[in-house]
């Protein structure tokens, strides 16, 4: 039996924009995803947009009961800024205020620890009209929104999160054509990243000002960069890949300062953001209390084979090529590499390089396309998901035994949820969602997860 510490928590993560949905008259304002879907529905798998998602807004009472049925002792979700403040600033949507109070109270009444994220890729569209995170005014708007949340929900929330995976909107929205606003502008990307970090640090400041006992962190998708070989050029490629992908938010959030090598690279390419000297004091003084870490797959890189074209827009992978390792283990239903040891390596890095700060594994999961083919006797027999979780937990257990300060494991996700451009193409949940009837059916993994939680471990 692999047994985890008695205070170790078990649960799952979701987000407001991926689970809540909308109903007429709910007062929610548009966010980036609502607007983009209205413009280009063809870019969304099956033309399924964010309107319906998993209908948590209507079914939260039954869904929260299912948290207990699947063994949750912790649950992570997010507040939708555009639901609470339809224009991003100004008037509060009282219906949303009451909704979140009811949801959070019910979760707490069930004895489940509550982790609440303030931002999950979902900027209110009214603020995008003024250039979104490129505009410093958004930092002030976010700071006010964050303080409002701390003051109005702080009595119910056990752990706060400033941002989920803040590097993703930077990469997908400003370096590659994946997310709205679909810019290829590295200078804008650097400014967006900087304003996001400043906003996160200011949220930490506001949280502790409201109540010094509140705990607040940031969730980062830490994807270890593994070099193709020990050749100096491959090692340099991996180091620089991690500077952009992980350390650009990890270092200022935990250490209070940016990596000097990253600053030098940005300066070399004339990409340094506009900033005020006093901002650096804010970042230095207001570090997170803990980390949330999301891990799905490794990043494998090699030294670049070619020089970039002098007229091409800057991208971080000027410094590295993506490398497909021969013989890698693959999720055949999603195409992503499965590399369980990545969890152990992340844990070791946090322990050795970041003061062994308290952390939770806030996302880890296995997406499966066409999962209905595994239905037998009325429910999904997802032994592959159970094996996936076990493999990662073995490495996490090894890290904890060696002193890693990890306090919990949260799977992505609870009920199959809407997933940005992929909609419901890949299913991740412990619970199956029937899109036509909205029926929820616990999968085999959901029953197993309850046993895992109750036993505090599992037999390998």
What is the full DSSP assignment across 43-102? Answer: GSGGG--TTTTT-HHHHHHHHHHHHHHTT-SEEEEE--HHHHSTTSSSS--HHHHHHHHH
Share above pLDDT 70 across residues of the chain, in percent, rounded to a whole number: 100
* 57: its two tokens: 């807004």
* 143: its two tokens: 């700071």
Sequence spans of domains, the chain: 2-458
The pLDDT, as a whole number, for residue 452 is 98
- How many CB atoms are closer than 10 A to CB 444? 17
Cis peptide bond N-terminal to 272, omega within 30: no
Give 257-311 pLDDT, tens digit per residue.
999 999 999 999 999 999 999 999 999 999 999 999 999 999 999 999 999 998 9
Q: What is the mean pLDDT of the chain?
A: 96
The pLDDT, as a whole number, for residue 53 is 83
Cβ neighbours of residue 132 under 8 Å, at least 6 residues apart? Answer: 32, 123, 138, 181, 192
Gyration radius (Cα) of the chain, Å: 21
Arithmetic mean of pLDDT, 130-147: 98
Residue 52 binned pLDDT confidence (cut-offs 50, 70, 90): confident
Cα torsion 368, 372, 374, 376 to 10°: value is: 150
Cβ neighbours of residue 24 under 8 Å, at least 6 residues apart? Answer: none
Distance CA 171, CA 178 (A): 8
Check: CB of residue 61 under 8 Å from CB of residue 96: no
Give 298-349 pLDDT, tens digit per residue.
999 999 999 999 899 999 999 999 999 999 999 988 889 999 999 999 999 9
E strands within 222-260?
Answer: 225-227
Distance CA 92, CA 102 (A): 16
Give 14-44 pLDDT, tens digit per residue.
999 999 998 889 999 999 999 999 999 999 9
Superfamily of 2-458 according to CATH: Glycosidases (3.20.20.80)
Q: What is the pTM of this model?
A: 0.95
Which residues does the annotation mark as catalytic?
165, 363
Arithmetic mean of pLDDT, 381-388: 97
* Residue 186 pLDDT exceeds 90: yes
The pLDDT, as a whole number, for residue 199 is 98
Torsions phi, psi of 353, nearest 5? -110, -15
Check: CB of residue 362 under 8 Å from CB of residue 293: yes
Check: CB of residue 404 under 8 Å from CB of residue 356: yes
Torsions phi, psi of 392, nearest 5? -75, -35
DSSP letter string, 138-172? HHHHHHHHHHHHHHHHTTT-SEEEEEESTHHHHII
Distance CA 221, CA 223 (A): 6
């Amino acid at each position: 039996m692999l047994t985890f510490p008695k205070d170790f928590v078990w649960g799952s993560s979701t987000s407001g924009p991926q689970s809540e949905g909308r109903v007429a008259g709910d007062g929610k304002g548009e966010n980036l995803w609502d607007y983009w879907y209205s413009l280009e529905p063809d870019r969304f798998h099956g033309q399924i947009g964010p309107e319906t998602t998993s209908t948590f807004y209507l079914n939260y009472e039954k869904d929260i009961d299912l948290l207990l049925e699947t063994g949750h002792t912790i649950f992570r979700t997010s507040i939708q800024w555009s639901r609470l403040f339809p224009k991003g600033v100004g008037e509060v949507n009282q219906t949303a205020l009451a909704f979140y109070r009811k949801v959070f109270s019910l979760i707490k009444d069930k004895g489940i620890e509550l982790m609440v994220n303030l931002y999950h890729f979902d900027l209110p569209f009214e603020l995008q009209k003024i250039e979104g995170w490129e505009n410093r005014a958004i930092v002030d708007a976010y700071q006010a929104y964050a303080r409002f949340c701390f003051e109005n929900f702080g009595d119910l929330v056990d752990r706060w999160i400033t941002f989920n995976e803040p590097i993703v909107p930077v990469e997908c929205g400003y370096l590659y054509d994946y997310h709205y606003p679909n810019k290829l502008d590295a200078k804008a990307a650097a400014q967006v990243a900087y304003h996001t970090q400043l906003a996160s640090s200011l949220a930490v400041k506001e949280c502790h000002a409201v109540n010094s006992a509140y705990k607040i962190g940031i969730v980062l998708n830490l994807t270890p960069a593994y070099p193709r070989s020990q050749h100096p050029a491959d090692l340099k490629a991996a180091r620089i890949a991690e500077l952009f992908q992980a350390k650009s938010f990890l270092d200022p959030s935990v250490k209070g300062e940016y990596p000097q090598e990253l600053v030098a690279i940005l300066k070399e390419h004339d990409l340094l953001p506009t900033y005020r000297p006093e901002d650096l004091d804010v970042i230095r003084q207001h570090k997170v209390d803990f980390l949330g870490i999301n891990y799905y797959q490794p990043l494998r890189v090699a030294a670049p084979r070619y020089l970039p074209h002098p007229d091409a827009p800057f991208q971080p992978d000027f410094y590295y090529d993506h490398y497909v390792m021969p013989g890698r283990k693959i999720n055949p239903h999603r195409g992503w590499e499965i590399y369980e040891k990545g969890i152990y390596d992340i844990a070791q890095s946090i322990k050795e390089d970041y003061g062994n700060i308290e952390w939770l594994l806030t996302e880890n999961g296995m997406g499966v396309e066409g999962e209905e083919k595994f239905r037998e006797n009325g429910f999904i027999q997802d032994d592959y998901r159970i094996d996936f979780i076990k493999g990662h937990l073995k490495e996490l257990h090894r890290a904890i035994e060696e002193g890693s300060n990890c306090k919990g494991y949260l799977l992505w996700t609870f009920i199959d949820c809407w997933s940005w451009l992929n909609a419901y193409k890949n299913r991740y949940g412990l619970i199956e969602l029937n899109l036509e009837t909205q029926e929820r059916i616990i999968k085999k993994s959901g029953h197993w997860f309850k046993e895992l939680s109750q036993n505090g471990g599992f037999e390998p």
